[in-house]
Structure 1
Amino acid sequence: MTNKRIVLTAYGSFGDIHPYMAIALELQARGHRAVIATSELYRYKIEAEGIGFHPVRYDSAIDMQQDGEFIGVLSESRRESEYTICYLLMPHLRATYKALLEAVQGADLLVTHHLSFAGSLIAAKTGIPWVSTVLSPLLFMSAYDSQTLSTTTISSYEQALAVVANDARLRQFRWQARLWSAPIRQLRGELGLPASCDPVFEGQHSPDLVLALFSAKLAKPQPDWCPQVQVTGFPFYDRAKQENLSPELARFLDSGSPPIIFTLGSLMVWTPGNFYLEGAIAAQQLGYRAVLLVGKGVHNLPLEQLPEGVIVVDYAPHSEIFPRGAVIVHHGGVGTTGQALRSGRPMLVVPYAHDQPDNAMRLVRLGVARTLARHEYSANTLMAELKQLLFEPSYESKAAEVGKRVQQEDGVKAASDAIETYLRSQENGQSK
């Protein structure tokens, strides 16, 4: 196959950008030219890896602090997705379409993130081969994939009732969200494109190939998933190849028993609440040390109130530090979830927003984690959950088992193989 120019477009936090960087690097290693079209915020990071970059104005500038704080507030009312789509994305849809149209000039393939709504319009308008991706199982909105249906003790009749109930709930949600995609439908009409399915839901998926960029341990294909879905495994982007643990953190880890690790990723870290302080107290009362990954320039922790045996760190490569922890306490973002699964360590998930509650449910279902609601989070409740994870052997053994399975997956290779296979099919189709 001749070398191709491939444009990958993404939106969101580092957890959204990293998978596409990992795939872009692999595609370039195979001789292709990869370009990531995303916010100007990530230009330096992407270009530093030798990946092509094209700016796309998803919003005037992603303000991680402002958006993180506001999403933290909205998560209490479960309206964070509405805010992201209606107020961060749709006002800039036309500018995004124009920029992305420029990015795909001369390209052989467009690969889209689930929030890259302009991508489906460009694929329909230009006819460019198109592969869509999904980072989290929740985005398939399956009526068959729920905590109730994972229980083996219910009858087939009860399972059928659960599917009907789940389907009704999802239909109600889609009805409530029907106006979210109005700007896309309007632009679609102006472009002379025929009406299509809802672009926020099934319309986000390519009719040819959808890559589910997560482990089959997290979710397996369901009867109502798109038939063109391929589950690849997590496409890990490991900064550890360029960055190691800081000398201070390395000395801390080497000087005692494995600590409890607390992290909120790159977005929710802007709205931590009592996550770090109560976590440090709980760890100390359990007789464990703690590592607090608080983000660069983010935290306002009262350091003088932190107990002994606690280290505060801006950042550490998850692939390096997670395997050295006793338990990982995190928010359930899919990027962090993937790294934690691969580490083989038990988890406590404190979900904040978006897909995080669903990811938490799946980890509990796997037997590798427990979950604690954010509004119930305190040193006392945290201690009770951590005791189960630390002293009940089944969590550690199950986490190690699942970790080995995830380590055996190669999401980057699987995704790149699928992309190349699709490109070959396009070449063969055009040559006939």
Structure 2
Amino acid sequence: MSFPHFIVCTGGTKGDLYPYLRLAQSLAAKGVRVTMLAPEVHGEQVKAAGLAYEPNLSEARYHEVLDNPLLFDPHQGLKALFSGTDQELLDARAQLLRVAGGQPAVLLCHPFYLFAAGLARAAAPELRVVGAYLAPSNLRTVHDLHFMGPMPIAHWLPLAARRLLWQQADARFVDPVTLPGLNRVRAHLGLPAVEHGFLLHMQAQAELSVALFPSWFGPTQEDWPQPLLEGGFTLHDGAAHQALPPAVEAFLQAGAPPLVMTLGTGHKHAAAVYQAGVVAAQQTGRRLICLTGFRQQLPQDLPPTVLWAAYAPLHLLLRRCAALLHHGGIGTVAEGLRAAVPQLVLPFAWDQFDNAFRVQALGVGLSLPAKKATAARLSRELVRLMQDAQRVTQCHRVAALLPHDPSPDAIVDHLMQWSITP
């Protein structure tokens, strides 16, 4: 049986890369032709996985985006990401059309890539588009709504009020910074303007949507796009021979299980929170591993009870640690759940506030907004986190759920069957 070419498209940091890389590897292992489009900084990793690869964002542009501290601001992140991207959107559309080569293909996309996919399909109807969503808050809803950005939503708030909140958010914060550029591109291509509802327009570009998180973490909502395939956390473990860095291994063996602190592989602007974490670990008598690719975010002189590492595979590290302090990226959340380790989530922006709420609601962690993460507050929250024996038990209960979720291979089987169904 002949399946169409799958073009797997993502952007962002490693947390945005890994789930799509795992799906692409599964497709290729089943004999499907796959091409992966990802930022240039991830190119070697994609090629090492044995996949056909094309860069969709230069290394210089990648770092230019990450250098902007507003990217991690809960109110300014969309503006920082989407300002001045008209040409990039046109280039992404052209790349998709060129890679597809006029033949039937499935575009398996990160949500923010759906705009380029929709524009490509407008020119080439033989293309089919799948949107793969990493976290529940990536999908708009008025039902299972706990946060809009950093703003908590009361569970008792009526649906009519929630709809009004979304309308106001669109009109004041989302559409003004996203639709002008999109509509300039659409006008250039002779397509009608999108009058309102940037996020709803994004979701509408996909013929099929896939939830890359389990239903017990984010239940499917009646106002999510349909058809929707329920999946599970799509975790990427890398090469079979992967090991911890020698310095990390030595540190683990030298004492009690440490805390691990990571605020995202692309976050260059979290020095204050990292430094508060170092102080809090000392105040609570805990050893600490700080993971960041940007050493300048940590104090110059670290005590012997604190280790800096640029990177370590979390699936190997966390099962040997006492607790995880992190930003609330969905990939880090999932690795913490798999390792059955208590989590203290320090959200900055994007989906992180909602992810933090769900970690706390599951009984496996606590949440403290990053802007409130002083050393004193981190110390108090760490004591709360570590002294609750029931939380550790609950961590193991939740970890036991993961093996029963749909696997990446099962998701891919469904996608392959869908791809040959009219």
TM-score, length of structure 2 as denominator length: 0.90
Give the 3-state SS of the residue equivalent to 1:315 in structure 2.
coil
Partner deviation per Cα, 1:209-254 (whole Å, 9 max, x = no partner): 1011122232111121113122211111112634201222112212
Tell me which residue corresponds to 2:112.
Answer: 115
Query: Residue 333 in 1 paired to residue 329 in 2?
Result: yes
Q: 1:29 to 1:219 in 2, by over 3 A?
A: same
- Name the CA distance, whole Å, in 1 between partners of 2:17 and 2:240: 17
Tell me which residue corresponds to 2:21.
Answer: 21
Residue pair 2:288, 2:305 contacting (<8 A) in 1 also: yes
Tell me which residue corresponds to 1:367.
Answer: 363
- Name the CA distance, whole Å, in 1 between partners of 2:155 and 2:353: 22
Q: By how many angstroms is 1:192 displaced?
A: 4.5
Q: By how many angstroms is 1:63 displaced?
A: 3.6
Residue pair 1:327, 1:347 contacting (<8 A) in 2 also: yes
| Matched AA of 1:215 | P
Q: 1:276 to 1:191 in 2, by over 3 A?
A: closer
Query: Residue 343 in 1 paired to residue 343 in 2?
Result: no
Q: Which moved more, 1:398-407 or 1:409-418?
A: 409-418
The within-5 A match list for 1:22-421 is: 22-57=22-57, 61-64=60-63, 66-71=64-69, 73=70, 75-76=72-73, 78-87=75-84, 89-105=85-101, 106-116=103-113, 117-127=115-125, 128-147=127-146, 161-176=157-172, 177-179=174-176, 180-193=178-191, 200-205=198-203, 206-239=205-238, 241-268=240-267, 270-295=268-293, 297-304=294-301, 306-421=302-417
Residue pair 2:94, 2:120 contacting (<8 A) in 1 also: no
Aligned length: 410
Q: 1:400 to 1:95 in 2, by over 3 A?
A: same
Give the 3-state SS of the residue equivalent to 2:242 in structure 1.
coil
| Matched AA of 1:29 | A
- Name the CA distance, whole Å, in 1 between partners of 2:347 and 2:239: 26
Q: By how many angstroms is 1:204 displaced?
A: 2.2
- Name the CA distance, whole Å, in 1 between partners of 2:320 and 2:239: 14
**Consecutive unaligned residues in structure 2, runs of 5 or more:** 148-153
Residue pair 1:367, 1:398 contacting (<8 A) in 2 also: yes
Residue pair 1:215, 1:234 contacting (<8 A) in 2 also: yes
Q: 1:361 to 1:342 in 2, by over 3 A?
A: same
- Name the CA distance, whole Å, in 1 between partners of 2:99 and 2:295: 33
**Consecutive unaligned residues in structure 1, runs of 5 or more:** 149-157
- Name the CA distance, whole Å, in 1 between partners of 2:156 and 2:252: 50
Q: Which moved more, 1:327-336 or 1:167-176?
A: 167-176
- Name the CA distance, whole Å, in 2 between partners of 1:256 and 1:350: 26
Residue pair 1:41, 1:62 contacting (<8 A) in 2 also: no
Give the % identical residues: 27
